[in-house]
Amino acid sequence: METSGKHTTVLLNEAVDALFSNRQAEPGELSALTPTYVDATFGRGGHSRLILSRLAPQGRLIAFDKDPEALAEAATISDPRFSIRHQGFSHLGELPKASVAGVLLDLGISSPQVDNPLRGFSFRFEGPLDMRMDTTRGQSVAQWLAAAEVEQIAEVIRDYGEERFAGPIAKAIVARRQERGPISTTTELAQLVAGTVKTREPGQNPATRTFQAFRIFINAELEELQQALAASLEVLEPGGRLVVISFHSLEDRIVKQFMAQHAREVYDRRAPFAAPKVMQLKVLQRIRPSAAEVAANPRARSAIMRVAQRTET
């Protein structure tokens, strides 16, 4: 996540420190000298560039991103140790098993995406109601809303936006579609929601939760996160690090529960004398941005970074 007009990566040093702090090369240990790391959300490359600055000459960094603008930024990196895939991080499992020394997931949406009216992510700007991370494929929010049933719209707003007025908002969207045609711009949606939601937390735009819900849904963000977390267990080598930065409670809850689930031994109740399934992760850290970082970059205020390490078994 970055501030408007300037690339400011949240928890930059903390995240890269967490990835590298377990890499103590032993004499004759080739894997410690030639590690492979994954920046699963390249964005504008803040984490990737710092990783490369610390990476061994024989090391390798693989990045993932769905956004064509991110790929254009990645093309400016000429380092032969670096490569990027035009894929979401749910494709992490395509890498060889136990081949990666560290996986970094910096979730959410970047400021260049939010601040570009043509992307349709923000209610602050007039623009097409798109919200796709990958503008080369898939359905935009406007296209989905043009045909979605009121129950489905309400479910999305409620589940992904945690919006208590999900029902009235969904009914207003469908009523507007029937009366004057589908909503096609960010401003139209924001005004409709504002006219429906009569109360809101101080300082928060009434459309905040609805915009969040539609963005998460149209990009299948939570489903992709669950797939990537599961894949990380397969691709991390013993001792490898998993570092995840989230920006809202839905993401962080998934990450927290995943790490907790795989950080304990599991007994099979049907076979009480069988050996338990050993834990696969060790939970190490939970880090929030410092007061100084939040003051310099207010968009960092909701960030939570969780760190876990693949067990040796």
Of 218, 253, 277, which marks where a domain is finished? 218
Q: Is residue 118 part of a domain?
A: no
pLDDT of residue 25: 45
pLDDT of residue 115: 85
Average pLDDT over residues 53-61: 94
Of 200, 218, 236, which marks where a domain is finished? 218
Same domain as 264, residue 213: no
pTM of the model: 0.89
Residue 191 — very low, low, confident or very high, per pLDDT cuts 50/70/90? Answer: very high
Same domain as 291, residue 207: no
Domain range spanning residue 72?
Answer: 12-111+221-310
At 36, phi and psi to the nearest 5? -115, 130
At 161, phi and psi to the nearest 5? -110, -10
Q: Where are the alpha helices (DSSP H) in 138-244?
A: 141-145, 150-161, 166-180, 186-196, 208-218, 221-235
Same domain as 184, residue 268: no
Same domain as 242, residue 201: no
pLDDT digits over 216-265, tens only? 999 999 999 999 999 999 999 999 999 999 999 999 999 999 999 999 76
CATH of the domain at 297: 3.40.50.150
Same domain as 260, residue 175: no
Number of structural domains found in the chain: 2
Of 218, 246, 276, which marks where a domain is finished? 218
Rounded to an integer, what distance in angstroms lies between the CA atom of residue 126 and that of residue 46?
A: 28
Q: For residue 1, is pLDDT > 50?
A: no
